[in-house]
Chain A
Amino acid sequence: MSSLLEARDLVKHFPLKGIRAWLSAMGGGARPAVRAVDGISLRLAPGETLGLVGESGCGKSTVARCLLRLIEPSAGRILFDRTDLSALPDEPLRRLRRDLQMVFQDPNASLNPRLTVRRTVDEPLRLHTTLTTAERQDAVREVLDRVGLGPELLHRYPHELSGGQRQRVNIARAIATRPRFVILDEPTSALDVSLRAKIILLLDDLRTRLGMTYLFISHDLATVKYLAHRVAVMYLGTIVEEAPTRELFSKPLHPYTRALLSAIPIPDPDAKRERLILAGEVPSPIDIPTGCRLRTRCPLAQPVCAEPVGLREVTPNHFVACHLV
């Protein structure tokens, strides 16, 4: 499989500061850190959508920001179309950003309140193309039209738009330069339920029309099921299961995935289903359990779970990190 974007053993630790961290380091222990992303590998084929799911705080957004180098990964490599992003100096990276875009989670916070819609969407074109002002103006209209916004909104400011319109502007800005890879960081979580389906349909339509590749980050399994070709499930900074979408939803293998899926309501009172309920809360990413990270909460945990565990290909293209599978 040729890949457009590949991450190998991506790590992002945020070292703790303060007296406690210092004392612990003095005491000979490892310097404590928030291990937000702890060795993640991803591969995205051109044109596909990979869903990345997990609870809040499991490190999904950190992965996204590391992939685009909005924050510097602590370790690991990121390859984009044979370019090593992780070692790219600032200026080439900046130029490459026309191909690497992101739709942010909160449309209210991700648009500059002082820029009109036109200037927001125009900016990537100005930075990355040699189009004239007039050509760019046409391009902005065209992009807005693609995301379903009329030219009457060109001179509006973000606070004069509805939530859905803002997110469409957000999408327009991301796709203006026709990027090859777009990260969607929970693009619908801040929207009304009634708007979500529309935005999801729009995003899927845009991907096929413009031939983009998506990394779709979400904790909303229903939208992932619709949009993603493959799904990776994240727990406490690692990937615990990865499989084609249909397979993952019909035959989840990892206890964590099973627990997530059993939390989706089914609109059928007689449906028989497995209910797997995890105990307690997510452990702190500072004190991660040894061995399998889920073992402190897993109802199926065995003594063997204290041993380290990695992703294994259980059936073709279905990877699981669990001793018991």
Chain B
Amino acid sequence: MRETSAMAEAVVLRRERARRARLLWRRLTKDRLSLAAGGAIVAIMLAALAAPWLAPYDPDATSASDALQRVSLRHWMGTDVYGRDLLSRVIHAARVDLLVALTATAVALTWGAFLGAVAGYRGGWMDQLVMRLVDTIMAFPAFILTMGITATLGNSTLNVVVAIAITHVPIYARLLRGEMLKAREMEYAEAARTVGNRPARIVFFHLLPNCVPPLIVQATLAMGFAILTVAALSFIGLGIQPPQSEWGYMTAEGAGYIVSGEWWLFLFPGVAIMVTVLAFNLIGDALRDVLDPRMRGVR
């Protein structure tokens, strides 16, 4: 008897989950544009993951006889001054750009959310301390600060991640603090205390999950910005170092050849940056529409 009811429960549970997943899926796919953006992100990520198998040539293999080839069937995006296949380099560059942006966003999200949650829930001097720290970071123009950090620490890939993470922490800290101020006044926060939860569990188990939707939206939008920052840093020579292929640096290299007519050198990496950032921004907006009901209908 017990067993059959448990089985019936499991069935109900599975059906419920499926129904919820379908609902989210339908709302996300209703909008063609965000569907295309989502498709683009998935494609770029797959390309990055499968780069060694997908790229037709070794991205670093030079060949003097193939230097500055135009777009052709052999080289879909042409070759650069050292005869390296541009398509292969653009595909491999996606790995670096996405990895750096993703890691930086993850680090910033973790720290920002943690600091913001504690500041918002505890209040008092803790709140003051965290918020003044955040204000200090925000007092600098973000890109200048990132430049300063990489210039001081030395421009290794890790330092680029650190620099972007530091400038992105305030975004999440402020967002979460606000959400937490709201959440801690909810009756279910009080109920969680009455039941006998410790403060840490109330914050991170009860309240934080209820603040996740705006966090996801923010992270997706900031992800596009992080990619742009990686590219910009590399463009001015403070980011990822050659010979590692990276979109920003490649664009910078290619920029020198615009006048002499080798347009493909800057165009393809530039388009890669643009499409990726645009896709993240579009999907961020779409997620906001789905996850954050307050913003529904506001464009």
Q: Give the contact stretch, choosing among B9-17, B26-34, B120-128.
A: B9-17
> Could you tell me if B186 and A97 are in contact, using CB atoms closer than 8 angstroms?
no
Shortest distance between the CB of B4 and any CB in chain A (Å): 11
> Could you tell me if A155 and B195 are in contact, using CB atoms closer than 8 angstroms?
no
Q: Which residue of B lies closest to A160 (CB)?
A: B16
Q: Give the contact stretch, choosing among A3-11, A106-114, A272-280.
A: A106-114
Contact of B9 among A101, A124, A155 (CB under 8 A): A155
Shortest distance between the CB of B1 and any CB in chain A (Å): 12
Contact of B13 among A65, A94, A114, A155 (CB under 8 A): A155
Q: In the complex, A119→B209 CA distance in Å?
A: 14
Shortest distance between the CB of A134 and any CB in chain B (Å): 11
Q: Please name all residues of chain A whose beta carbon is closer than 8 Å to the beta carbon of B12 when the two chains form the complex.
A: 152, 155
Shortest distance between the CB of B22 and any CB in chain A (Å): 16
Shortest distance between the CB of B201 and any CB in chain A (Å): 9
- Per the 8 Å Cβ criterion, residues 17-65 of A in contact with B are 65
Q: Residue B194 at the A interface, CB < 8 A?
A: yes
Q: Residue B299 at the A interface, CB < 8 A?
A: no
Contact of A104 among B16, B191, B196, B197 (CB under 8 A): B191
Question: C-beta contact mask, A88-104 vs B, less than 8 Å → 1, else 0?
Answer: 00000011011011101
> Could you tell me if B187 and A105 are in contact, using CB atoms closer than 8 angstroms?
yes
- Per the 8 Å Cβ criterion, residues 1-45 of B in contact with A are 5, 8-9, 12-13, 16
> Could you tell me if B196 and A110 are in contact, using CB atoms closer than 8 angstroms?
no
Shortest distance between the CB of B127 and any CB in chain A (Å): 15
In this complex, the interface size class of chain A, counting residues with CB under 8 Å from chain B, is 20 to 34
Q: Which residue of A lies closest to B13 (CB)?
A: A155
> Could you tell me if A95 and B196 are in contact, using CB atoms closer than 8 angstroms?
yes
Q: Please name all residues of chain A whose beta carbon is closer than 8 Å to the beta carbon of B186 when the two chains form the complex.
A: 109
Q: Residue B204 at the A interface, CB < 8 A?
A: no
> Could you tell me if B191 and A110 are in contact, using CB atoms closer than 8 angstroms?
yes
> Could you tell me if B192 and A102 are in contact, using CB atoms closer than 8 angstroms?
no
Q: In the complex, A314→B235 CA distance in Å?
A: 88
Q: Residue B190 at the A interface, CB < 8 A?
A: yes
Q: Residue A127 at the B interface, CB < 8 A?
A: yes
Q: Please name all residues of chain A whose beta carbon is closer than 8 Å to the beta carbon of B187 when the two chains form the complex.
A: 104-106, 109-110
Q: In the complex, A266→B210 CA distance in Å?
A: 46
Q: Please name all residues of chain A whose beta carbon is closer than 8 Å to the beta carbon of B209 when the two chains form the complex.
A: 114
Q: In the complex, A65→B187 CA distance in Å?
A: 12
Q: Please name all residues of chain B whose beta carbon is closer than 8 Å to the beta carbon of A127 when the two chains form the complex.
A: 195-197
Q: Residue A295 at the B interface, CB < 8 A?
A: no
Shortest distance between the CB of B274 and any CB in chain A (Å): 37
Q: Please name all residues of chain A whose beta carbon is closer than 8 Å to the beta carbon of B75 when the two chains form the complex.
A: none
Q: Residue B140 at the A interface, CB < 8 A?
A: no
Q: In the complex, A152→B5 CA distance in Å?
A: 9
Q: In the complex, A100→B197 CA distance in Å?
A: 13
Q: Please name all residues of chain A whose beta carbon is closer than 8 Å to the beta carbon of B198 when the two chains form the complex.
A: 94
> Could you tell me if A112 and B192 are in contact, using CB atoms closer than 8 angstroms?
yes
Shortest distance between the CB of B212 and any CB in chain A (Å): 9
> Could you tell me if A151 and B195 are in contact, using CB atoms closer than 8 angstroms?
no
Q: Please name all residues of chain A whose beta carbon is closer than 8 Å to the beta carbon of B188 when the two chains form the complex.
A: 109-113
Q: Which residue of A lies closest to B208 (CB)?
A: A114
Question: C-beta contact mask, B147-179 vs A, less than 8 Å → 1, else 0?
Answer: 000000000000000000000000000000000
> Could you tell me if A104 and B210 are in contact, using CB atoms closer than 8 angstroms?
no
Contact of A112 among B13, B196, B206 (CB under 8 A): B206
Q: Please name all residues of chain A whose beta carbon is closer than 8 Å to the beta carbon of B74 when the two chains form the complex.
A: none
Contact of A124 among B13, B16, B196 (CB under 8 A): B196
Q: Please name all residues of chain A whose beta carbon is closer than 8 Å to the beta carbon of B9 when the two chains form the complex.
A: 151-152, 154-155
Q: In the complex, A156→B9 CA distance in Å?
A: 11
> Could you tell me if B196 and A173 are in contact, using CB atoms closer than 8 angstroms?
no
Q: Which residue of A lies closest to B196 (CB)?
A: A97
Binding site for A on B (CB under 8 A): 5, 8-9, 12-13, 16, 186-188, 190-198, 206, 209-210
Question: Which 4 residue pairs of A and B lie closest in terms of their CB atoms, listed nearest first?
Answer: A97-B196, A110-B187, A109-B187, A112-B188
5 contacts between A and B (CB under 8 A): A94-B198, A95-B196, A105-B187, A124-B195, A155-B13
